A and B are shown apart, each in its own frame.
Chain A
Amino acid sequence: MSPIANKESKEQKNRAGQKIVSPDYLLFEAPREKHFMTGSEAVKEAVKRATVDASVSYPITPQSEAAHLIGELWAEGYVGVYFRGENEFGVMSEVAGCSIAGARTITTTSGPGTLRAMENFPMWSGTRAAMQLVLMARGINAPLTIQPDNLEVSFLLDTGCMIWYAENVQELFDMILAGFVVAEQPDVHVPVITAVDGFFVSHTREAIYLPPDDIALPPYDPYKAPMPAIDAEVPPGRFLRDPFVMKSNYISYATHASWQFEVRAAIERSRPYAKHYLKGLTEEFGDKDAEIVFVACGTAASQAKEAVRVLEAEEGIKAKVVKLKTIRPFPYEELLEATKNAKYIFVPEFNVVGWLEREVRRALYKKSDAEIIGTPRVAGGMTMPKEAIVKEVLEIIPARR
């Protein structure tokens, strides 16, 4: 059952002239047609059906194309506000302005852009701006690289934003739509960062099933937000969105602490909504009871799935993949349940620090007897061939036995 009331609107249209349908209809019920497109093009198709009010763009590889295509939607009348900002710090502040003024807002960035914009992300969550950032992960300088590498995600883990991770073009499309719906719930209402691996998803053409483009999400209602919108239309008239709280009575340090807990609590409240709209916070592939488990997100999960096939077909070894669709909130219960038979948990990742391995270790500490193995780990644009994953398993496991 849907965690929100899906009121079927009576043939209402959005400002672009699309028929407004419920999130459940758009995501689960509307007929879908097969297309073939890149991740960047899928971003455009999602935004086109999302009744988006505002977007601000800035060029950086590999997200530029997605940002161009949102611009085309603006030119076609599907997006209300769109322009190129001066750099990512400016852009992330501009979208914050759009969002708190009551716009459904989306932007995109990658790697160094994410880090340049960094100060903004905790500001977004702290001011309860329910916007969406599509992050097409790329390596971080120095030295310069434009290649896929998701180290940047580790910097975002504690910004108070939700972090979702899409594996492929189809999932990116669906996650963007679900992202708005979940982020805008009145008791959630924090930003959602929808991450994908740059190039592997942004630039790869894949089959994708899309609902018709003459239907769209209901518009954002800023008056359901947990803070007044900055539009001088909602009381109190005296309202500073993000005040210097310690200056009240000069004693209220507890306010800032409570405020930060509230932002994290808001992420926790997203669980039932995300479970519904993402059809679970995790996805499993392979033998349910396998002792060898790959825990991964993004295209590392795709490669792990291929490795599971090879292990089964060529070595007769049973294995499974637990794909994490949400990193914040972290799917503790799902992971614990999915790894209850595990003896070896491999965490393949596209970065050198192994941030997902750290997350998995923290989640399973004293709850699982499985050995957690942070490998294979590739970075800087390297691919992760299924053969490499299989080789690691075949080398490591006999040595342990």
Chain B
Amino acid sequence: MSLKIYELNEEFKNIVPQEIVALQENATWGNPKRGVMDLPVAKELLEEHSLCAGCPEAAALRYILASLPNPEDTIIVNSTGCTSLMFPHIALHTVHSLFGNQNSVATGIKRTLEWRFPDKVKDVVVLAGDGATVDIGLDYTLQSFFRQEKITTICFDNEVYANTGGQESGLTPKGHVFKMAPKGKQFEKVPMWQLAIDSGCHYVARLTVSSPKRVEKVIKEAIYVAREVGPTYVHLYTPCILEIGLNSDDGLDEMRSRDKERFKFFEYKTPEAEEVIAKYKEEGLL
């Protein structure tokens, strides 16, 4: 149990900001049944960050952090992009590293923690944008799948390089006009979920984050399967409202409309994954 790293010495409890005491006392630690329903009542693992108001990516990260079954022993590896603006504020051990190498860094961490702590469960989760996962980092993403690394990879797909000012990415749908694609994108959106299946992932899901409960279920299944079987991949649509010209309260509607088309809920499980999921269901953890 690593919870002790959040426990303040009594001598200092009255001098640290309330948010730090709350992290120790009111966050949901040591409870694998935690989930998005805790959000209104529990201390969240994400402090204030600098994403745009109404950004669906921020909502996605809050749902994911609320759903981690084992946060006190979870390491998150991130990459460059809008997500880097949130990462310092996550109350877990996290790494940024470079742009695109997230699955490589996560591989090293996961394998080392298995070697150093053979009797402990340490979950390693990768959280990166579409540029990091599919363009600059595609090789490292897929290679970690080929090698059957026990890592959960989550892609925040906003279909654009948002942090750098709105350039076309491999996950931009064909025809969309962005910077660097002034005549519209010339080729199809990369079907990353299918590449994940073909590359050996045991659990793959594609969805928008319009339904927090569904995000919770997917994240938990992906983490449990990664822990026991091998790589898992979750593809989330988190639109950049800024770059597609929407208002800050339009994100949810945008996702709901895509729920019916290119981000229609899709799930894939290998037989080994089915077994693990059944086991955790039986234990009441899913």
Contact = CB atoms under 8 A, between A and B. Distances in A.
Given A103-B116, A235-B6, A244-B85, 18 more contacts: A80-B115, A86-B140, A86-B143, A89-B140, A94-B108, A97-B110, A98-B112, A100-B109, A101-B108, A123-B97, A230-B93, A230-B109, A231-B117, A237-B6, A237-B92, A240-B88, A241-B94, A247-B85
Contacts of B75: 101, 230-232
**Residue of A98, A230, A242, A243 most packed against chain B (CB within 10 A):** A230
A96 B97 contact: yes
B113 interface: yes
B232 interface: no
9 pairs of A and B residues whose beta carbons are closest in the complex: A97-B108, A93-B104, A93-B101, A101-B112, A98-B108, A86-B143, A97-B105, A238-B91, A80-B115
Contacts of B87: 240, 243-244
Interface in B105-135: 105-113, 115-117, 122
Nearest to A95: B108
Interface in B28-58: 47, 50
B5 interface: yes
A242 B98 CA distance: 10
Contacts of B101: 89-90, 93, 120
Contact of A97 (B50, B85, B91, B107): B107
A94 B112 CA distance: 10
Interface in A44-87: 53-54, 56, 80-81, 83, 85-87
Given A56-B108, A94-B107, A231 B93 contact: yes
B248 interface: no
13 contacts: A97-B77, A97-B95, A98-B109, A98-B111, A98-B112, A101-B108, A103-B108, A103-B112, A123-B97, A230-B75, A239-B92, A242-B97, A244-B85
B88 A97 contact: no
A231 to B, nearest CB: 6
A3 interface: no
Contacts of A80: 112, 115-116
**Residue of B73, B84, B89, B93 most packed against chain A (CB within 10 A):** B93
B72 interface: yes
A392 B168 CA distance: 58
B152 to A, nearest CB: 15
A228 B108 contact: no
A4 interface: no
A119 B94 contact: no
Interface string B153-195: 0000000000000000000000000000000000000000000
A89 B73 CA distance: 28
Contacts of A238: 23, 47, 89-92
Nearest to A85: B104
B147 interface: yes
Contact of A54 (B97, B98, B115): B115
A212 B23 CA distance: 51
A243 B77 CA distance: 12
B126 to A, nearest CB: 11
A233 B93 CA distance: 9
Interface string A193-214: 0000000000000000000000
**Residue of B85, B98, B108, B143 most packed against chain A (CB within 10 A):** B108
A119 B98 contact: yes
B115 A242 contact: no
Contacts of A87: 139
B96 interface: yes
B71 to A, nearest CB: 9
B2 interface: yes
B74 interface: yes
A398 interface: no
A80 B122 CA distance: 17
Contacts of A114: none
A232 B5 contact: yes
Contacts of B107: 94, 97
A99 interface: yes
Contacts of B117: 231
A239 B77 CA distance: 12
